[in-house]
Amino acid sequence: MATHLDISHISIEFPTPKGPFKALDNVSLKIEKGEFVSLIGHSGCGKSTVLNIVAGLYDATEGGILLDGREVKGPGPERAVVFQNHSLLPWLTSYQNVELAVKQVFRKTKSKKEMHDWIMHNLELVHMTHAADKRPDEISGGMKQRVGIARALAMEPSVLLMDEPFGALDALTRAHLQDSLMEIQKDLNNTVIMITHDVDEAVLLSDRIVMMTNGPAATVGEILHVDLERPRERLALANDPRYVDYRTQVLTFLYEKQRKVEPIQATAKSKTVAASAKVANA
Amino acid sequence: MISSVTMTALKDKISAFSVKGILLPVFGILVFILLWQVGASRVHTSLGEFPGPVVVYEQWNSLVAEHQRERVKEDKFYVRQEERIAERQAKDPSYVGTLRDYTGKPTFFDQIFTSLYTVLAGFGLASLIAIPLGILIGLNRSVYSALNPVIQVFKPVSPLAWLPLVTMVVSASYVSDDPMFSKSFLTSMFTVTLCCMWPTLINTAVGVAAVEKDLLNVSKVLRLGWMTHVMKIVIPSAIPLMFTGLRLSLGIAWMVLIAAEMLAQNPGLGKFVWDEFQNGSSNSLGRIMVAVLMIGFIGYLLDRVMLTIQRFVSWDKTQILR
Return d(Cα A251, Cα A282) in angstroms, integer: 9
Return d(Cα A147, Cα A94) in angstroms, integer: 6
CATH number of the CATH domain containing B169: 1.10.3720.10
Q: Is the Cβ–Cβ distance between B188 and B125 less than 8 Å?
A: no
Domain co-membership, B34 together with B116: no
Nearest alpha-carbon partner for B260 in B177, B173, B193: B193
**pLDDT tens-digit readout, B234-253:** 999 999 999 999 999 999 99
Domain co-membership, B179 together with B303: yes
Per-residue pLDDT at B175 exceeds 90: no
Task: List Cβ neighbours of A141 (8 Å cut-off, separation of 6 or more).
Answer: A86, A168, A169, A170, A173
Strands lying side by side in the sheet with A81-82: A81-82, A159-163, A191-196, A36-40, A208-212, A220-225
Three-state SS annotation for B248-266: HHHHHHHHHHHHHHHHHCC
The torsion angles phi and psi of A159, rounded to 5 degrees, stand at -130, 135
Tell me what pLDDT residue B159 has: 79
Tell me what pLDDT residue B90 has: 84
Instruction: Indicate the DSSP class of residue A219.
Output: -
**A234-243: long-range contacts (C-beta < 8 A, 24 or more apart)?**
A234/A175, A234/A178, A234/A179, A234/A204, A237/A204, A243/A203
* DSSP assignments along B82-126, one per residue: HHHHHHHHHH-TT----PPPP-PPP-HHHHHHHHHHHHHHHHHHH
Domains of chain A with CATH codes: 5-80+157-281 (3.40.50.300)
Lowest mean pLDDT among A15-19, A46-50, A157-161, A270-274: A270-274
Per-residue pLDDT at B82 exceeds 60: yes
**Do B221 and A77 count as a contact with CB atoms less than 8 A apart?**
yes
CA-based nearest distance A278→chain B, Å:
30
Query: Beta partners for B49?
Result: B44
Q: Is the Cβ–Cβ distance between A51 and B217 less than 8 Å?
A: no
What length does chain A have?
Answer: 282
Domain co-membership, B115 together with B225: yes
Domain co-membership, B263 together with B171: yes
The torsion angles phi and psi of B107, rounded to 5 degrees, stand at -85, 175
Domain co-membership, B16 together with B112: no
Other CB atoms within 10 A of residue B96 CB: 7
What is the share, in percent, of chain B residues with pLDDT greater than 90? 51
**Do A87 and B220 count as a contact with CB atoms less than 8 A apart?**
no
* DSSP assignments along B7-74, one per residue: HHHHHHHHHHHHIIIIIHHHHHHHHHHHHHHHHHTT-EETTEEPP-HHHHHHHHHHHHHHHHHHHHHH
**What residue of A is the nearest CA neighbor of B315?**
A91
B132 lies in which domain range? 107-313
Residue B228 lies in a domain: yes
Angle in degrees, 0-180, between the axes of helices B284-313 and B269-279, rounded to the nearest 10: 170
Tell me what pLDDT residue B60 has: 93
The separation between CA B36 and the C-alpha centre of its own chain, rounded to angstroms, equals 26
The separation between CA A193 and the C-alpha centre of its own chain, rounded to angstroms, equals 5
Of B217, B223, B318, the CB nearest to A104: B223
Residue B154 lies in a domain: yes
- Domains of chain B: total: 2
Of B221, B232, B237, the CB nearest to A80: B221
The separation between CA A79 and the C-alpha centre of its own chain, rounded to angstroms, equals 12
ipTM of the complex: 0.83
The torsion angles phi and psi of B215, rounded to 5 degrees, stand at -70, -35
Residue B277 lies in a domain: yes
Q: For residues B95, B101, B105 and B107, what is the CA-based torsion angle, rounded to 10 degrees?
A: 130
Q: Could you list the beta-strand ranges (E) of B111-171.
A: none
Domain co-membership, B298 together with B224: yes
Q: Is residue B125 very low, low, confident or very high in pLDDT (cuts 50, 70, 90)?
A: very high
Per-residue pLDDT at A274 exceeds 80: no
Instruction: Indicate the DSSP class of residue A218.
Output: B
Return d(Cα B252, Cα B199) in angstroms, integer: 9
Query: Is A79 in the B-facing interface, judged by CB distances under 8 Å?
Result: yes
Of A57, A91, A137, the CB nearest to B220: A57
Domain co-membership, B13 together with B111: no
**What residue of A is the nearest CA neighbor of B223?**
A76
Domain co-membership, B36 together with B137: no
**Do B218 and A87 count as a contact with CB atoms less than 8 A apart?**
yes
pTM over 0.90: no
Domain co-membership, B126 together with B261: yes
**pLDDT tens-digit readout, A193-244:** 999 988 999 999 999 999 998 878 888 888 999 988 888 888 888 889 999 9
Strands lying side by side in the sheet with A70-71: A19-31, A5-16, A62-67, A70-71
Residue B90 lies in a domain: no
Say how many CA atoms lie within 13 Å of B112 toward its Cβ. Answer: 16
**Do B221 and A90 count as a contact with CB atoms less than 8 A apart?**
no
Query: Is A81 in the B-facing interface, judged by CB distances under 8 Å?
Result: yes
The two beta strands, A19-31 and A62-67, are unpaired
Domain co-membership, B145 together with B273: yes
Domain co-membership, B245 together with B130: yes
Domain co-membership, B16 together with B136: no
Residue B162 lies in a domain: yes
Return d(Cα A92, Cα A151) in angstroms, integer: 12
Give the dihedral sign, CA A7/A168/A186/A108: negative
CA-based nearest distance B207→chain A, Å:
15
**pLDDT tens-digit readout, A243-271:** 999 999 999 998 888 876 665 554 444 44
Question: What is the mean predicted confidence (pLDDT) over B184-191?
Answer: 91
